Structure 1
Amino acid sequence: MANVVQDHISKPASENAVNVVAPLTFIVPQAEKPALYHTAYTGGAPDFRFAVEEHEVLVADLRPHADAFTLDKEGFAFRTAPTDVADLYDDNAVETAYYDEIRSLLTREYGASHVAVFDATRRSDSGNGASNKDGNRGPASRIHVDYTAKSGPQRARDVLGAEEFDRLLKSGARIVQVNVWRPIRGPVQRSPLALADATSVEAADMIATDQVFPDRVGEIYHLSHNKDQRWYYVPEMTRDEALLIKGWDSLEDGRAQFTPHSAFPLPTQTDDTPARESIEVRTFVVIE
């Protein structure tokens, strides 16, 4: 295990900031392309064809700087966005009323002409994970980006349809993949989300990794450690708050395109700390 402590953050720290030093899990760079063979492929445990390592890093309190962070610069944004959906474990309510809320939120955020919602995932570190249609899921504990320069446009083509995707790009429209992450119950006191400031991440730090399923091969980025990376989290995040996280952007003009993120353990959490329960909704935002 490697241990490197960062000693700087991108914005001045508030006297009341709840900064922490905590372990984050990074991929170890290797000569061959890393791959993850999922349980549906192996028929048993997943097969990881890469190594990881932990580094102790400074994860700074986002709250004092929340108004200054944007999806196009740092790659993420923090919003107060209450939901009227009482039960976020209700699939029907999520896929109707909650999806409508997400569309409204991102339409306001981007001035979007269309928001396509294509997935929702619940996660919990309770031990059993959180219930989803395709099984229970725990927090994602390796630093990653959900899409890459290759898989982002391919997923957009799949979701929007090949003809519409091509039409949008030819017309000069912009397509942005955005995840909306929210606690199901709050405040979050265990396994919160750490986010990398995209301006501090070098392209070489992001390692394209195959995700192998029985019928297809996807691709995500894992992140290798760099002492210059800057990390943030939201302490005690509540159900009325949401993180917007960019996963891919069709514009390649210097703005943030990818946002590495991961769950991480707080120094204060114990086995008796209430489990983190969250829901993330994946979308493509179309700006014409």
Structure 2
Amino acid sequence: MAELRLAYSMRAVPTAPWVEAPVNYLADLSIKPVTYNPPPGTGLPRRDGNYRNFTVRIHDARPLVGSLSLDRQAFSLTRHETEVRDFYREEEVRSSYSIEVEALIKRETGASKVVVFDHTLRTADRAVERGLRTPVRSVHNDYTEKSGPQRVRDLLPPDEAEARLAKRFAEYNVWRNIAQEPIEMAPLGLIDAQSIAPRDLAVCDLVYADRVGEIYQGVYNADHQWHYFPAMTRDEAILIKCYDSAKDGRARFSLHSAFDDPSSSANARPRQSIEVRAFAFFD
């Protein structure tokens, strides 16, 4: 953590400890939220629901790095070197990077087993024509009370799945910048899980060509405490807890969204990022 703070101190420090920016929430549940996700490269997602932009204050979380906890805020930032040269090479991500992420999650959580099962590349530059996805500009969480356990059953053999589901397990996303330059456009905003009320999590069907899943969409709550990590570099990673089976008071779900940083320059480089999804199992 000390190295991470030192590295940041050598960069340009933001002129204010926060920015104000609009983020896209569900205003209410008058329309059932549904998101239709086409295959990559075929178009943009389509959403049903009463969505509206709300302006929020998003705090620079770098001064808090040493005190952030996956079990309290549901997100953390860590220094994480990678041997991956080109994140656009599928084979390199599935082999080398998956091993790196597995080791990172074990280190940060103490899990006995980690299963990396999915990744998504995002860019703000010609994403559809390149077969990629765009940054998600809606307040959401990747798994729900129902879809977390279901995804374990989808991934593991039946006997192993039921044995793992009988003990604590959690789903984590590992998010990073994959460009050589620091992120200038569409950074990731994260809500402190301690400020999320149960009513803020609305079940949303996630419709693909071959299956239907579930995520949570965020319902606007003025009490939400927003944070981000300005100018993220390629050697940093955000861990986000999207599901935890434990019901002992620790954070179980989170909410996050890309946002348009008003402090970005007019010619900011398009964001390039990867998020890897993994289950962590505990003995």
Same fold, judged at TM 0.5 (above): yes
Deviation at 1:161, TM superposition (A): 2.9
The equivalent of 1:167 in structure 2 is 163
Among 180, 198, 201, the alignment partner of 1:203 is: 198
Deviation at 1:228, TM superposition (A): 0.6
- Separation of aligned partners in 1, 2:196 and 2:238: 19
The equivalent of 1:183 in structure 2 is 177
- Separation of aligned partners in 2, 1:28 and 1:243: 28
Equivalent pairs, count: 268
Deviation at 1:48, TM superposition (A): 2.3
Q: Is the aligned partner of 1:36 residue 2:11?
A: no
Range with greater deviation from structure 2 (152-161 or 222-231): 152-161
Deviation at 1:138, TM superposition (A): 0.7
Deviation at 1:287, TM superposition (A): 1.2
User: TM-score normalised to the size of structure 1?
Assistant: 0.87
SS at match of 2:118: strand
Deviation at 1:85, TM superposition (A): 1.1
**Gap change, CA 1:275 and 1:15, over 3 Å in 2:** closer
Q: Is the aligned partner of 1:213 residue 2:208?
A: yes
The equivalent of 1:283 in structure 2 is 278
Q: Is the aligned partner of 1:75 residue 2:74?
A: yes
Deviation at 1:167, TM superposition (A): 1.0
User: TM-score normalised to the size of structure 2?
Assistant: 0.89
- Separation of aligned partners in 2, 1:46 and 1:194: 20
CA RMSD after TM alignment: 2.0
- Separation of aligned partners in 1, 2:45 and 2:128: 16
SS at match of 2:190: strand
Q: Deviations over 1:171-208 (max 9, x none)?
A: xx321100000000131111000000000011101111
- Which letter maps to 2:126? G
The equivalent of 1:136 in structure 2 is 132
**Gap change, CA 1:127 and 1:51, over 3 Å in 2:** farther
Among 127, 135, 142, the alignment partner of 1:146 is: 142
Deviation at 1:37, TM superposition (A): 2.9
**Gap change, CA 1:233 and 1:15, over 3 Å in 2:** closer
- Separation of aligned partners in 2, 1:96 and 1:178: 19
The equivalent of 1:117 in structure 2 is 116
- Separation of aligned partners in 1, 2:59 and 2:219: 19
SS at match of 1:109: helix
The equivalent of 2:231 in structure 1 is 236
- Is 1:143–1:262's contact at 8 Å kept on the other side of the alignment? yes
- Which letter maps to 2:21? A
- Separation of aligned partners in 2, 1:141 and 1:99: 26
Identity among equivalent positions (%) equals 41
- Which letter maps to 1:56? T
**Gap change, CA 1:44 and 1:180, over 3 Å in 2:** closer
- Separation of aligned partners in 1, 2:129 and 2:182: 17
The equivalent of 1:9 in structure 2 is none
- Which letter maps to 1:164? E
- Is 1:124–1:130's contact at 8 Å kept on the other side of the alignment? no
SS at match of 2:95: helix
Deviation at 1:30, TM superposition (A): 2.1
- Separation of aligned partners in 1, 2:105 and 2:58: 27
- Separation of aligned partners in 1, 2:51 and 2:17: 27
The equivalent of 2:251 in structure 1 is 256
- Separation of aligned partners in 2, 1:15 and 1:241: 18
Deviation at 1:111, TM superposition (A): 1.7
Deviation at 1:38, TM superposition (A): 3.2
- Separation of aligned partners in 1, 2:66 and 2:49: 38
- Which letter maps to 2:276? V
**Gap change, CA 1:169 and 1:218, over 3 Å in 2:** closer
- Which letter maps to 1:167? A
**Gap change, CA 1:113 and 1:17, over 3 Å in 2:** farther
The equivalent of 1:89 in structure 2 is 88
SS at match of 1:39: coil
- Separation of aligned partners in 2, 1:275 and 1:44: 19
- Is 1:124–1:277's contact at 8 Å kept on the other side of the alignment? yes
